Amino acid sequence: MSYGVGNGVRRARYLRAAIAVIVVSTVLCAALVAAIGALNRDLYSAGGFVRQYLEALAAHDTDTALALPGAEPTDADLEAAGLPQDLPRTLLRPSVLGSITDIHLVSDTAVPAEDGDGADQHTVLYDFNLDGKDSSMEFTVERVGSVAGLFSTWGFVTSPLAVLQVTVLHEADFSVNGLTLDTRAHAAADAPVTFSNQGAYLAFAPAVYSISHDSAMLTAPAQKVPVVASGAADVTVDAMPNETFTSQVQAKLNEFLDECATQQVLQPSSCPFGIEIDNRVKSAPVWSIAQYPEVALAGGESSFDMPATEGQAHIVVDVQSLYDGDLSTREEDVPFSVGLSVTIQSDGALAIQLR
């Protein structure tokens, strides 16, 4: 009788242990399934993949951002978009990147694949703060495989990188986020020197690029260019004469006019002013400049140009009337106009051409 009771106790213990094992296994399986689901929803989701890219840019980790599948455009992608190939990678460096904070997933929408091969494509929209301003950017990604058959892997269908196409008017170099670049650096060796120049550069998006020009003679105020889409972003840098440039031209023009005023003739040679007098001239004409033309320059096709601008020369000369022989002193302001063109020579000196 005691033997049967012992067997029953053991069976009860085994049953309780088995139930405990089943319960623990069930809980562990449920936790594993939940963990896999959470990882697929967050880290291994389309939105999670894009977050990796944005967080890499926020950390200025350009290597990680560029290593993500589809992050860099292929030559075929650039050609299809009508963009130059073999673009400089100068801007793909950590020092050029700004601040990205408050990264927030707005939507992750599944869409049919264009090629119809069954691959999942998603349109992912993120909000974030870009250098202090609220911004957003849309990304298109697709499922490219899996890890251990459990976790999805993703890649960009369209590269998130932008192509910064910079036109520098009246100059060749510009500054972007503290980095100075020469648009002619990647031109062909036999390319002619031009007054205005263009350059195209691969650049990260999203990002804000502060673009300007500041040199001894020319200035273009900084402009903030937010780039929140892939593909081409066009920027124009209008480098215009600064105060130093204008002052030098004004001084040269004034010097030229003062030299003209030293000629004691009615029509100073190669000068923009002169006068015709019908009466007999009895003294050497004395010229002075009453009002110098004010230099204001605008960018032209191949030079900085000042249109015909008015000035006033002053003449004092003794004359005798041919009618009655009376002597008098003629003193008056004589209006004139002068235009000019200016170029900056390779040594930095100004070449001024009057017209």
| pLDDT at 127 (0 to 100) | 98
Q: Collapse the DSSP code of 271 into the 3-class scheme (helix H, G, I; strand E, B; otherwise coil) and give the result.
A: coil
| pLDDT at 198 (0 to 100) | 94
| pLDDT at 29 (0 to 100) | 45
Domains contained in the chain, CATH given = 46-156 (3.10.450), 162-240 (2.60.40), 243-354 (no CATH)
Q: Is the pTM of this model over 0.85?
A: no
β-partners of residue 335 are 312
CA distance 107 to 270: 73
- Kind of pairing, strands 231-238 and 162-169? parallel
DSSP-assigned states of every residue in 19-43: HHHHHHHHHHHHHHHHHHHHHHHTT
Structure tokens at 304: 């900085």
Q: Are 237 and 212 in contact (CB under 8 A)?
A: yes
Q: Exposed (0-12), middle (13-18) or buried (19+): which is 167, by Cβ within 10 Å? A: middle
Q: Are 64 and 18 in contact (CB under 8 A)?
A: no
Structure tokens at 144: 């490219």
| pLDDT at 35 (0 to 100) | 41
Instruction: Please measure the distance between the N-terminal and C-terminal CA atoms of the chain and give it in whole angstroms.
Output: 131
E strands present in the chain:
100-111, 121-130, 133-147, 151-156, 162-169, 173-176, 179-182, 197-203, 207-214, 218-227, 231-238, 240-241, 280-281, 286-291, 298-299, 304-320, 327-344, 350-354
pLDDT in tens, the chain (355 residues): 454 556 666 666 666 655 655 655 554 444 444 444 444 455 689 999 999 999 999 999 999 999 999 999 998 889 888 888 889 999 999 999 999 999 999 999 998 755 555 568 999 999 999 999 999 999 999 999 876 556 799 999 999 999 999 999 999 999 999 999 999 998 887 888 899 999 999 999 999 999 999 999 999 999 999 999 999 999 999 999 999 999 999 999 999 999 999 999 999 999 999 999 999 999 999 999 999 999 999 999 999 999 999 999 999 999 999 988 899 999 999 999 999 999 999 899 999 999 8
DSSP-assigned states of every residue in 91-142: T-SGGG---EEEEEEEEEEEE--TT-SS--EEEEEEEEEETTEEEEEEEEEE
